Amino acid sequence: MSVALQPAPALDVARVRRDFPILARTVRGKPLVFLDSAASAQKPRAVIEAMVRCMETAYANVHRGAYHLSEVATESYEAARAAAARFLNAADPREIVFTRNSTEAINLVAHSWGRGVMRPGQAVLVSEMEHHANLVPWQMLRDDGRGIGLRVCRVTDDGELDLEDLAAKLADGKVGLVAVTHMSNVLGTVTPAERIVALAHAHGAKVLLDGSQAAVHRRVDVRAIGCDFYCFTGHKLYGPTGIGVLWARLEHLERMPPFLGGGDMIASVTLERSEWAPPPAKFEAGTPPIIEAVGLHAALDYVAAIGLPAIEAHERALVDHAMRRLCGVEGLTLLGRAQDRGGVFSFALDNAHPHDLSTLLDRAGIAVRAGRHCAEPLHARFGLEGGTCRASFGLYTTREEIDLLADALVRAREFFA
């Protein structure tokens, strides 16, 4: 007997928008149309209030105090770690390392796994669609004389990862780590994570997924995906800046040497030598982002309360609507036509420099990104070295805002013509 699948619950976007104070403001006398969530998302009242409440009633340094307030703060900090583990379906909260952002998380893996575990003659395999945060650290590893190579997987004209090229570059068994995005911050492409992991593991390579964008839009289950490392950043997930998450299998963290040295990451210290604390403390030197962890916990709870199935269904509807409207704008070039994509649209308009176009849209109250979005090689791949404009969606984005963007682009084309 077959069981009918239940549709995802509808997201009440009008109610959601009331949770975000900044969305009530105007820009140049017009309602704010915020389409730059891929760079940094706006914050709901629940996050703002949780951080203020922490500072007003429960702030102290963590792990070190033998007094009540420090114990309360430590409990809050570790509760945030447990929340991040639940969010990713991690097997153990000890697999969660707090960092400043995804960039620091990837640098941690590059420094600690790349320099401490990988062997000379091995290579890291990235793709053409990577954010600089998942490219530059590996170039630095390649260039520091340890004998670690760097390979690059091609991207197809449709903006998808070329899996045949990926397989070819894995074939000799010398790739030690595949480090690729789970969702492109330029193309919106959602990469086939499970297939990538299966292919990499079959050739003896570990896998790091940069989930900075994907974790915002899709449910992430690191155990189902099967990867070895996964990272995301709080400020894109409706939380504060200054905190990110690195998930890694516990056996990997136990093998990896520390990234930074100092207080709280040690078991003992003498003038001659130090013993490291077990993970995750080994990778969290110094006073951690206590208030930010509280804010991240509130953001994760907020997203969970709405429900990722509802968020994903809302975004799929927005993406379909945006494809129809933006493809109807004459003279507009969209980057990427991947079959599976999220709410990120990068585009170029005939005769308009991206910065000029962004400025013109701002006069209509529409906030979009202009430039190369920390992905210069990808723009070069598509022959757009001058950059693009990027509109990106959050759970508070509406169809009406997409319509306003499309109509403003039509007027902009007339203006620049």
Give the contacts of 172 (CB within 8 A, at least 6 positions apart): none
Q: Identify how many contiguous H helices and E strands the chain contains and give both numbers.
A: 16, 17
Rounded CA separation 84/244 (Å): 10
Contact 231, 244 (CB under 8 A): yes
What is the pLDDT, as a whole number, of residue 8? Answer: 56
Strands, E, within 128-284: which ranges? 149-153, 175-181, 206-210, 229-233, 244-248, 266-269, 274-276
- C-alpha separations of 56 from 19, 52, 53 in Å: 22, 6, 5
The H-or-E segment that residue 30 falls in is: strand 30-31
Secondary structure E strands in 85-233: 96-99, 123-127, 149-153, 175-181, 206-210, 229-233
Integer Cα distance of 342 and 249 in angstroms: 27
3-class state of residue 341 by DSSP: strand
Helices (H), 144-270: 163-170, 193-202, 214-217, 222-225, 250-255
Q: Is residue 153 annotated as a catalytic residue, yes or no?
A: no
Q: What is the mean pLDDT, run by run of 10 residues, along the chain of 417 residues? A: 52 97 93 97 98 97 92 97 98 98 98 98 98 98 97 97 98 98 98 98 98 96 98 98 98 97 95 97 97 98 96 96 96 94 97 96 96 97 96 98 97 91
Question: 86 phi and psi, to 5 degrees?
Answer: -65, -40
Class of the domain covering 13-36+307-416: alpha beta
pLDDT at site 299:
98
65-73 long-range contacts (CB < 8 A, ≥24 apart) are 73/290
Residue 338: strand, helix, or coil: coil
Q: Which residue(s) pair with 96 in the sheet?
A: 247
The single residue listed with the structure tokens 């504060």 is 240
DSSP 8-state symbol, 36: B
Structure confidence at residue 225 (pLDDT):
98
Residue 369: beta bridge partners? 390
Question: What CATH number belongs to 48-304?
Answer: 3.40.640.10
Catalytically annotated residue among 54, 153, 374, 389: 374
Entry pTM:
0.96
Q: What are phi and psi of 392, to 5 degrees?
A: -135, 145
Three-state DSSP state, 2 = coil
Tell me the DSSP string of 264-316.
Answer: TSEEEE-SS-EEEPPTTGGG--SS--HHHHHHHHHHHHHHHHH-HHHHHHHHH
Domain boundaries, the chain: 13-36+307-416, 48-304
CA 263 to chain centre: 28
Query: Would you state the pLDDT for residue 34?
Result: 98
d(C-alpha 405, C-alpha 325), whole Å: 9
Residue 209, both tokens: 């997924």
